[in-house]
Chain A
Amino acid sequence: MTVDRNIIGRSSPEFFCTVEAGKIKEFAASIGETNAVFWTDDESALLAPPTFSHIFRSGKMELLMSDCGLDATRFLHGEHEIEFHRPLKSGDRLSYAIRVADVREATGKRSGPMDIIILETLVKDDVGAPVQTIRQTFVAKR
């Protein structure tokens, strides 16, 4: 089954969330992070670890794939790239949508023909300024 290229440009609805201090610390604990900047009790100074933005987006990539008529369980998460436009911190009020940026085919040396889907998320703050751009590559064997 090849993936229909017409899904390029399809988008999730817009989602909203607030970055909470306790969630940052819970995340820091779960990855064995002891750097004091991710643990300060001064909430206005508390920064989120670099990969924190995954926590409010998890599961939504799979939903978008299902909305595009794809079986999300066929796809493996191959690559993940985060571009930071500014630090993410406690109290940030965010909005974001996930968009199908590209659909490609490739042939692996060992695995044969594969479908590749690239999803892009632009995370913005409450005045619309960019916070992070996230690109994720999902790969499925035919």
Chain B
Amino acid sequence: MRDYYDDTWIEDGSQPIGYRKDGWRKTRAVPGKAAKDLRAGMDIPAFTQGPVTRTEIVKYAAASWDFNPVHHDETFAKQARSGGIIAHGMMIFAYLGRAATDFLGTPTLSKLSARFMNVTRPGDVLKLGGQVESVGADGTVVLRLSATNQKGETVATGVAQASLPVS
């Protein structure tokens, strides 16, 4: 059985370019990690997210039921303090969560936090990454996460904590 929540409509920047021909969303298995595989100071492999599109922001609004018009209504957003459409901070937080669960190889964290520092606008390209902060003898791993934009500004920082198998 397949699900219909699929990214079939794709965009290139602001120009929609049509439907994907390869059908259903492809998922991937994320291999698990043990605490012995990790060392404090180790880099989390960075990944790029974006350019962020209005379509993605609207998808996040619908999925999260967060319909503050500053995230989808250009006319409203231009009059607001943001001066235009901005992405939800929680959308960036979700990317930080993805960086943590992908790197640690577990969907189950014990803590995740974020501090929001700059806004994200359509067209921005984010780089997600971070470092291993500490690895405890009991398997407790703490990560420092960050999202930066193409101008080098820090959009958000975060901390993730999880309990991994020791070996």
Closest-by-CB residue of B relative to A56 is B65
Interface string of B108-120 (1 = CB under 8 A from A): 1111111110000
Are B107 and A35 in touch, CB under 8 angstroms? yes
Of B25, B107, B108, B114, the most chain A CB neighbours within 10 A belong to B107
Are B108 and A87 in touch, CB under 8 angstroms? yes
Known contacts A30-B63, A87-B107, A50 near B112 by CB under 8 Å: yes
Chain B interfacial residues counted at CB < 8 A: 43
Known contacts A29-B5, A30-B64, A47 near B90 by CB under 8 Å: no
A/B pair count, beta carbons within 8 Å: 127
Are A37 and B95 in touch, CB under 8 angstroms? no
Q: Which residues of B contact A76 (CB under 8 A)?
A: 116
Are B49 and A32 in touch, CB under 8 angstroms? yes
Are A77 and B89 in touch, CB under 8 angstroms? yes
Q: Once bound together, how far apart are the Cα atoms of A25 and B6, in whole Å?
A: 9
Q: Which residues of A contact B49 (CB under 8 A)?
A: 32
Q: Which residues of B contact A33 (CB under 8 A)?
A: 94, 98
Interface string of A33-53 (1 = CB under 8 A from B): 111111101000001011100
Known contacts A30-B62, A54-B64, A35 near B28 by CB under 8 Å: yes
Closest-by-CB residue of A relative to B2 is A41
Are B110 and A83 in touch, CB under 8 angstroms? yes
